[in-house]
């Protein structure tokens, strides 16, 4: 890759519109598709979704856990899906939510961000709850590899509200510092759920992308994007998974519907 992640993300959002589609091959969804809960079903599901959305979603987000549960066979499927998406020009955000210190964080970064890794993605999700400073190695690796990271700040699950409200300011300040002076986005994005009733902290100084999960099954709608993110609407990447994945015949149609609705709500 010859361009920093922020530049590639901006170009992709401008081309495709603001939407991230998750690939979440849970047992329930495999069953809904009439597929076996097996590595073969996992591959059929994942490649079908990837084929349907790779040219219409700016970002595609495989959830690593659903592949990891099948061990080496599932990881092999994940490697293939990542390769296919990246060959198609789609930005891949691997949802791994890793967070550790020192050499362990460096090893995670090597696995998911290093150009030579078979699991290398354009960006990964990270957990900051060992301290934002524990992420420095991953952020440095992202910069070196023209990749990005998305750090959990205020997620869409209600169980996290009290803890995350207490530390979100530190997370946002750390991300803003890492992004300072970079254009159009720095390499450090944050995850802020579209399900929140209101924002506890301003996002104006972030200078990075904002992944906004929670559309559809978790209760948020495209209208919530304008309500929450009006001052930073140019940086928002709404994320939807289950609500576009339940019917294999409608994955692309539902993706286009969400993409167009989100673009309308986030239009300046």
Active site residues: 97
Instruction: Tell me how far apart the alpha carbons of residues 254 and 59 are, in angstroms, rounded to a whole number.
Output: 15
Q: Which two tokens stand for residue 29?
A: 């969804």
Contact 193, 152 (CB under 8 A): no
Instruction: Tell me how far apart the alpha carbons of residues 92 and 48 are, in angstroms, rounded to a whole number.
Output: 16
Distances (CA, A) of 75 to 16, 43, 102: 28, 10, 25
Contact 196, 165 (CB under 8 A): no
Q: Which two tokens stand for residue 120?
A: 């290398």
């Amino acid at each position: 890759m010859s361009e920093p992640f922020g530049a590639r993300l901006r170009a992709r959002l401008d081309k495709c519109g603001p939407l991230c589609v998750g690939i979440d091959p849970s047992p329930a969804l495999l069953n809904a598709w009439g597929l076996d809960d097996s590595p073969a079903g996992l591959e059929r599901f994942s490649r079908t979704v990837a084929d349907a959305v790779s040219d219409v979603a700016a970002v595609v987000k495989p959830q690593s856990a659903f592949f990891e549960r099948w061990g080496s066979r599932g990881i092999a499927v994940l490697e293939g899906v990542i390769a296919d998406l990246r060959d198609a020009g789609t930005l891949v955000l691997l949802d791994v939510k890793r967070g550790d210190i020192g050499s362990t964080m460096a090893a995670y970064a090597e696995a998911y961000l290093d150009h030579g890794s078979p699991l290398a993605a354009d960006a990964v999700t990270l957990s900051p709850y060992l301290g934002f400073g524990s992420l420095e190695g991953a952020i440095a690796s992202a910069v070196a590899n023209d990749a990005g990271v998305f750090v959990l700040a205020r997620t869409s699950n209600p169980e996290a509200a009290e803890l995350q409200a207490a530390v979100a300011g530190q997370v946002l300040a750390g991300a803003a510092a890492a992004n300072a002076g970079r254009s159009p986005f720095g390499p450090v994005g944050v995850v802020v759920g579209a399900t929140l009733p209101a924002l506890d902290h301003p996002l104006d100084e972030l200078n990075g992308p904002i992944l906004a999960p929670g559309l559809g099954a978790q209760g948020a709608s495209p209208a919530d994007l304008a309500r929450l993110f009006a001052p930073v609407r140019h940086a928002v990447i709404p994320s939807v998974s289950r609500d576009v994945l339940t019917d294999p015949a409608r994955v692309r149609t539902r993706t286009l519907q969400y993409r167009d609705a989100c673009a309308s709500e986030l239009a300046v």
